[in-house]
A = this chain, B = another copy of it.
């Protein structure tokens, strides 16, 4: 951490900062420039993060040198983390595709779609039973019954499943059904939930908050990791920008950035990010070309009848099957392969 003193800072103010640093077990390193005096803090910078050194008199600003997350960092683990989901290894050479409807709507719907996903080459079935909806008057999911339907579809197809977890009360229940917990973008900083998930062994797919920086995203993952669950995958699902043509702006840059900064697998959701069916295929291809370890894609056999209003971004089964073949070609062009 580097503390920049104001232009007219007094010796007393400088000494005061030095004393503070020493109190916290750090050493100082003073550098007197022409315009400003800088004080470097030597030691564990993380100690300093929670201390408002910038509230001390004469301090202009404080600049962090190292990142505030540790377990999630590439420095902590130079090897890519592999997460084993019933034999599917997420984070390795083979790209895994999760697919299915936004919400479980009926046994017939989820089973039909599960078969289409399997047919197309998907290896994990998605489907929400508990749904976070922007307004209270929208369909809120089938809850427990939805989980039962998902289980039935899993049995019929042999696919693993991923479903959303919204609150701590449901952690045990959902854990008994799902192979992967999905944490939605709106809950990325629901720290109570993250701590609870950190105490399970079930893999977690953490979606990036709509306006979360990369650093905040990795810090949210750090919550889960620091409570003991190391099976965390990161999901880029679009950030909020000024552009309104797409629902959100899928931030493909986040893929190589996260791969550089962290050892955790990176999944991309082109469906929710764009909110437009015609953009799902090109953005899925871009994600694979940029280095994504997996994709999560909405598929529905009757998009017009979907209860969540998300039909507009769902692929039809034959569109999904076609896309999977195209993705296979991209995967090979970047020396990867696909679970198919």
Contact = CB atoms under 8 A, between A and B. Distances in A.
Interface string A35-51: 11010111111100111
Contacts of A167: 167-168, 190, 192-193
Contact of A314 (B34, B55, B187): B55
Given A35-B45, A135-B223, 14 more contacts: A7-B75, A29-B33, A31-B31, A34-B42, A52-B309, A55-B304, A169-B192, A210-B211, A239-B249, A241-B241, A241-B249, A243-B251, A252-B252, A256-B279
Which 5 A-B residue pairs are closest in the complex by CB-CB distance? Answer: A52-B311, A211-B211, A55-B311, A167-B192, A289-B289
Contacts of A63: 2, 63
Contacts of A155: none
Nearest to A210: B211
B214 A56 contact: no
A239 B243 contact: yes
Contact of A138 (B50, B192, B311): B50
A211 B240 contact: yes
Interface in A128-179: 132-139, 166-169
A293 interface: no
A229 interface: no
Interface residues of A, number: 109
Contacts of A166: 191-192
B283 A137 contact: no
B256 A242 contact: no
Nearest to A135: B219
A184 to B, nearest CB: 9
A244 interface: yes
A231 interface: no
Contacts of A81: none
Nearest to A189: B186
Interface string A297-326: 000000110111111101000000000001
Interface stretch (A65-73, A82-90, A112-120): A65-73
A201 interface: no
B245 A303 contact: no
Contacts of A334: 285, 326, 329-330
A15 interface: no
Nearest to A190: B190
Given A169-B168, A243-B214, A132 B191 contact: yes
A282 B287 CA distance: 9
A251 B273 CA distance: 12
Contacts of A273: 253
Contacts of A169: 168-169, 192
B65 A38 contact: yes
Contacts of A307: 50
A49 B137 contact: yes
Contact of A135 (B33, B40, B49): B49
A235 interface: no
17 contacts: A4-B65, A20-B304, A32-B42, A35-B66, A51-B309, A52-B309, A52-B311, A132-B189, A132-B191, A134-B216, A169-B169, A186-B191, A239-B241, A250-B252, A252-B286, A253-B279, A286-B289
